[in-house]
C-alpha cells in the first residue's frame, strides 16, 4: 500500500476568535492577497502566496461575517454584526466610508467593475451601494425570503445571487428589474456559494452536499454527498478538475470534480472549518476555522519527505520573491495592530455577534 504523504500548511495566526470567511483577490501586478473575516471584529489582510500578515482594518465594534477585496485589491469591504458595512483603503488601512444598516450585515461583494458594493443580512434586504457616490441612498432589492447569508455577482454584474440562513436554495436576481429569475433548489440552507473564475459554475455547499450548477443555464451539473456536514466548498480555478470542502469534522477534503472521488484530506485545524477558498492561480488553498487560525495548503502537496519545512510561516524561495512587495505595503502605512491578539478581551459578546 502506498505510503500516505503528510501535507504541511502555512499556519496564519493573529485572529483571537473564529475565522468565518476568506476571500482571495485576483492576481494583480503586486501579487494576490487574502482577506479574512473573524468574530474578533478586525478583518486582516495577508499576502495570498505566503500568508504573511500585511495589516489589520480597525473600526468595527462587532463580529465580521464577510470581507472582500475589489478586483485590483485597492479597496476592501467588510460586513459586520455592528449593523454596518465598511469600505476601506487596502493600501493604507483607512476607513473610506461606513454604510449603516438596521440589523446584522452577513455578506458583502464588490461588482466586477468595482463601481458597486452589494450587501445582505438579517434585514432580508439586498442593498447595492454606488461607490462613486458614497453618500447616495443604496438601491434596495427587498424580496428575499429569509435572512441573507451569502451574496455574489455574476454575468458581468447583470445578475446577483443570494442564499439564506434559514431558507433552502439559492436565488438569482436580475439587477435591472430587481426580480428573482431563478431559484437553485437545495434540501438545506446554502452556507457557501462561489462563482467560478471562468464564470461557468456556481459551487454551493448545503448540509452534507456540494453541488455544481451551470452558471448560464442554471441546471444542476453535479452533486456529491460529503462525509459530514460541510460549511464551505471551492472549485479549483485553473483546470476545474478538483474541489475542496470543509466543515464540522475539522478536516479539509479534496475531491475529483468529475467523479467525486476523494483525493486527499488535510488535518490540522482544532475546530470546525467555516470557510475554504482556492487561490486565484489554483496553486494553493486556504481554510479558516473555529480555532482562529487560517491554514494555507499547497495544491501539489509539500510533504515531510520532500521538505524540511515545519508548520508555520517559514520562509521559502517564494517568500523572498515577494518580500519587497510586502514591505512596500506595510510601509505605506496600513494600520498595524500586532498579530498577538489572543490576549485581548472580546469587544462584544456572542449574543451581539448575531450567532
pLDDT for 166-212, tens place per residue? 999 999 999 999 999 999 999 999 999 999 999 999 999 999 999 99
pTM summary value: 0.85
Confidence grade of residue 7 (pLDDT, cut at 50, 70, 90): confident
Measured torsion, CA atoms of residues 27, 326, 57, 34, in degrees rounded to the nearest 10: 30
In angstroms, the CA 97 to CA 91 distance is 15
pLDDT for 265-289, tens place per residue? 999 999 999 999 999 999 999 999 9
In angstroms, the CA 10 to CA 253 distance is 17
pLDDT at residue 348, rounded to an integer: 36
Confidence grade of residue 67 (pLDDT, cut at 50, 70, 90): very high
- What's the burial of 118, exposed, middle or buried (CB within 10 Å: 0-12/13-18/19+)? buried
pLDDT at residue 232, rounded to an integer: 98
| % of the chain residues with pLDDT over 90 | 81
pLDDT for 15-64, tens place per residue? 999 999 999 999 999 999 999 999 999 999 999 999 999 999 999 999 99
Give 98 or 333, the one with higher predicted confidence.
98
Give 346 or 237, the one with higher predicted confidence.
237
Task: Kindly state the average pLDDT of the residues 306-330.
Answer: 39
Sheet with 116-121, strands from edge to edge, namely 105-110, 116-121, 126-130, 139-141
pLDDT for 74-105, tens place per residue? 999 999 999 999 999 999 999 999 999 999 99
Per-residue DSSP letters for 35-55? EEEETTS--EEEETTT--EEE
In angstroms, the CA 111 to CA 154 distance is 9
Average pLDDT of the chain to the nearest whole number: 88
Interacting residues of 268 by C-beta distance below 8 A, sequence separation 6+ = 9, 11, 295, 311
| % of the chain residues with pLDDT over 70 | 83
Amino acid at each position: 500500500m502506498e505510503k500516505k504523504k503528510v501535507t504541511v500548511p502555512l499556519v496564519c495566526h493573529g485572529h483571537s476568535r473564529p475565522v468565518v470567511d476568506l476571500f482571495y483577490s485576483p492576481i494583480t501586478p503586486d501579487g494576490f492577497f487574502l482577506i479574512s473575516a473573524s468574530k474578533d471584529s478586525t478583518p486582516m489582510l495577508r499576502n495570498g502566496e505566503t500568508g504573511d500578515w500585511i495589516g489589520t482594518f480597525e473600526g468595527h465594534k462587532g463580529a465580521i461575517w464577510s470581507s472582500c477585496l475589489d478586483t485590483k485589491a485597492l479597496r476592501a469591504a467588510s460586513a459586520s454584526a455592528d449593523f454596518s458595512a465598511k469600505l476601506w483603503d487596502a493600501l493604507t488601512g483607512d476607513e473610506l466610508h461606513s454604510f449603516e444598516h438596521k440589523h446584522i450585515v452577513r455578506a458583502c461583494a464588490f461588482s466586477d467593475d468595482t463601481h458597486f458594493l452589494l450587501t445582505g443580512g438579517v434585514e432580508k434586504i439586498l442593498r447595492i451601494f454606488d461607490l462613486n457616490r458614497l453618500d447616495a441612498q443604496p438601491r434596495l432589492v427587498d424580496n428575499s425570503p429569509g435572512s441573507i447569508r451569502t451574496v455574489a455577482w455574476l454575468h458581468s454584474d447583470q445578475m446577483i445571487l443570494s442564499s439564506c440562513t434559514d431558507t433552502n436554495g439559492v436565488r438569482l436576481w436580475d439587477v435591472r428589474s430587481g426580480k428573482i429569475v431563478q431559484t437553485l433548489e437545495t434540501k438545506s440552507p446554502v452556507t457557501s456559494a462561489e462563482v467560478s473564475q471562468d464564470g461557468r459554475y456556481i459551487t454551493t455547499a448545503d448540509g452534507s452536499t456540494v453541488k455544481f450548477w451551470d452558471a448560464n443555464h442554471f441546471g444542476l451539473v453535479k452533486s456529491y454527498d460529503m462525509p459530514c456536514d460541510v460549511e464551505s466548498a471551492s472549485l479549483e480555478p485553473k483546470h476545474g478538475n478538483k474541489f475542496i470542502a470543509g466543515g464540522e469534522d475539522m478536516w479539509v477534503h479534496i475531491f475529483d470534480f468529475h467523479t467525486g472521488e476523494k483525493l486527499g484530506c488535510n488535518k490540522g485545524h482544532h475546530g470546525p472549518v467555516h470557510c475554504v477558498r482556492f487561490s486565484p492561480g489554483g496553486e494553493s488553498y486556504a481554510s479558516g476555522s473555529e480555532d482562529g487560525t487560517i491554514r494555507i495548503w499547497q495544491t501539489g502537496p509539500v510533504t515531510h519527505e520532500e521538505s524540511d519545512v515545519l508548520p508555520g510561516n517559514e520562509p521559502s524561495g517564494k517568500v523572498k520573491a515577494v518580500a519587497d512587495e510586502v514591505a512596500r505595503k506595510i510601509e505605506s502605512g496600513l494600520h498595524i495592530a500586532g498579530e498577538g491578539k489572543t490576549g485581548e478581551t472580546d469587544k462584544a459578546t456572542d449574543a451581539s455577534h448575531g450567532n
